[in-house]
Amino acid sequence: MHTFSNKRDRNHPKLKIMLQDKTLAFLRKLKKNNSTEWFKENQKDYKASRTDFENFVSEIINALESIDAEIEKQDLQAKKCIKRINRDIRFSNDKSPYKTNYFANFNPDGKKSEHASYYLHLEPGNSFVGGGVYMPQTPTLNKFRREIESNLKDWKSILNSTSFRKTFPNGIESPLELKTVPKGFDKESPALEYFRMKGFYTMRKLTDKEITSENTVTGIINNYREVKPIIEFLNRAL
C-alpha cells in the first residue's frame, strides 16, 4: 500500500481523514428538498457537510502534492478548489437552486486555467475520481488535438498501459464526439478518433462505502498516479 507525506506530521505513516456519512446524508436530503427555504432552515447541516468536505479535500491536496510537483507549486487551498453549490439557473429549464453534489478540481496551473487537471465528484450513489479536460474552449481543444497527433505513439502507450486500463476500464472518454473531422485536421490521420473528441478525461466510480472508508485518500491518490501521465501529456500543448 502506498503512503504519502503529510505536511502537518511527516512521520505519520498514512492518512486517515475520512468523509463522514452525515455529509452524504445531507446531500441526499438536499436532493429531496432542493429549495431556498429548506436550505436556509438547514444551514447548520450544510456548513458541517461543507467543512467535512473541505477537510477531506485538504488531505487530498496534501497527498497529491507528494506525487505532482506542479500541484505543490500552486499551493492550492481547499476552499478555492471546491465549486459553488449554487446552480446557475438563468438558461436552464431546471430551476433547482442547488447542486446535490460537491466537486473539487485540482489544477496544476491554478484555479482558472484550462490546463488538464485532477478532480473529485462527491454525490450519493454517483461519486467518481479522475482527471483530464472536459469541454475546453475550441482553441485550447485544438492544441490538445495537435499534441496527440504529433505524439500519437506516446499517447497510445499511456492509454494502453496495463495499470491505466485496470484503473480506468473505459479508457479516455469524451463528453461529446463530432460526426465530422474539425476544420484544419486531416481526415486520413491515424489520430482521427481523437480529433472528434470534445474533451479527454478519465473516470472511476466510487461507491458510498468506498468514498467514506479510512483508506479513501490513499485510493484516490493511486488513481491520480495513473491519470498523471495523461495530464502531463496534454499540458505540454499549452
Q: Once rounded to an integer, what is the mean pLDDT over residues 135-146?
A: 97
pLDDT of residue 1: 35
* Domain span at 128: 21-235
Is the residue at 230 inside a domain? yes
pLDDT in tens, 71-130: 999 999 999 999 999 999 988 899 999 999 999 999 999 878 999 999 999 999 999 999
Residue 201, in any domain of the structure: yes
Q: What percent of the chain has pLDDT over 90?
A: 89
Rg (CA), the chain: 19
How much is the pTM? 0.91
| In a domain? residue 9 | no
- Give Cα separations from 5 to 8, 65, 83, 117, 222 (angstroms): 9, 9, 26, 21, 14
pLDDT of res. 3 = 34
Residue 102: closest CA among 206, 173, 16, 188 = 206
- Within a domain: 7: no
Mean pLDDT for the stretch of residues 192-214: 97
Q: How confident is the model at residue 16 (pLDDT cuts 50, 70, 90)?
A: low
Average pLDDT value over all residues in the chain? 92
Asked if residue 195 belongs to a domain, the reply is yes
- Cell readout for 220 is 484516490
- Predicted confidence at residue 173, as pLDDT, reads 98
Q: Is residue 35 part of a domain?
A: yes
Domain membership of residue 10 (yes or no) is no
What digits encode the pLDDT tens for the residues 49-77?
A: 999 999 999 999 999 999 999 999 999 99
4 in any annotated domain: no
- pLDDT digit string, tens, across residues 167-178: 999 999 999 999
Domain count, the chain: 1
